[in-house]
Amino acid sequence: MLARRIIACLDVDAGRVVKGVQFADLVDAGDPAALAARHADAGADEIVLLDITATHEGRGTLLDTVRRTAAKLFIPFTVGGGIRSGDETTAVFDAGADKVSINSAALADPSLIEQIGRRFGAQAVIVAIDARRGSGRPEQAEVYVHGGRRLAGRKALEWAREAEARGAGEILLTSMDADGTRAGFDCELTAAVSHAVQIPVIASGGAGTAQHFAEVFTRGHADAALAASIFHFGVSDARALKQQLDRDGVPVRLPC
Partner 1 sequence: MIAVVDYQAGNLASAMKAITAVADDAVVTGDPDVVCRADRIILPGVGHFAATRRLDETGLTPAIKLAIARGTPFLGICVGMQWLLEGSEEAPEQPGLGHFPGRCRRFPSGGDTQFPLESAKVPHVGWNAITTRSEPTRLLAGIGEPAMVYFTHSYFVPAYGTPIPGPGAEGLYDPTAATCRYIETFAAALEHEHVMGVQFHPEMSGAAGLTVLRNFVSWRC
Residue whose CB is less far from partner 1, 46 or 51: 46
User: Which run of H or of E encompasses 142?
Assistant: strand 142-145
Is residue 233 classed exposed, middle or buried when 0-12, 13-18 and 19+ CB atoms within 10 A define those classes? Answer: exposed
Identify whether the C-beta of residue 77 lies closer than 8 Å to the C-beta of residue 56: no
Of these, 13, 77, 113, 192, which contacts partner 1 (CB under 8 A)? 77
Least Å distance between CB 163 and partner 1? 14
Residue 67 or 84 having the CB closest to partner 1 = 67
Residues found in the chain: 256
177-205 residues labelled b (16+ CB within 10 A) or e (exposed): bbbeebebbbbebbbbbbebbebbbbbbb
Per CB under 8 A, contacts with partner 1 among 79-108 are 93-98
Stretch 163-202 residues interacting with partner 1 (CB under 8 A): 169-170, 198-200
Query: Which residues from 150-169 bind partner 1, rule CB under 8 A?
Result: 169
Instruction: Decide if 130 is catalytic.
Output: yes
Contact (CB, 8 A) for 155 and 143: yes
Task: Select from 37, 107, 113, 124 the one that contacts partner 1 (CB under 8 A).
Answer: 124
Chosen residue from 24, 25, 57, 74 binding partner 1 by CB under 8 A = 74
CA distance 101 to 213: 22
SS3 state at 59: helix
Decide if 13 is catalytic. no
Report DSSP state, residue 26: -
Using CB under 8 A as the criterion, what x/- string covers residues 197-236 for binding partner 1?
A: -xxx----------------xx--x-xx------------
Catalytic machinery residues? 11, 130
Contacting residues toward partner 1, per CB under 8 A = 1-5, 40, 45, 70-71, 74-77, 93-98, 119-124, 169-170, 198-200, 217-218, 221, 223-224, 249-251, 253, 256
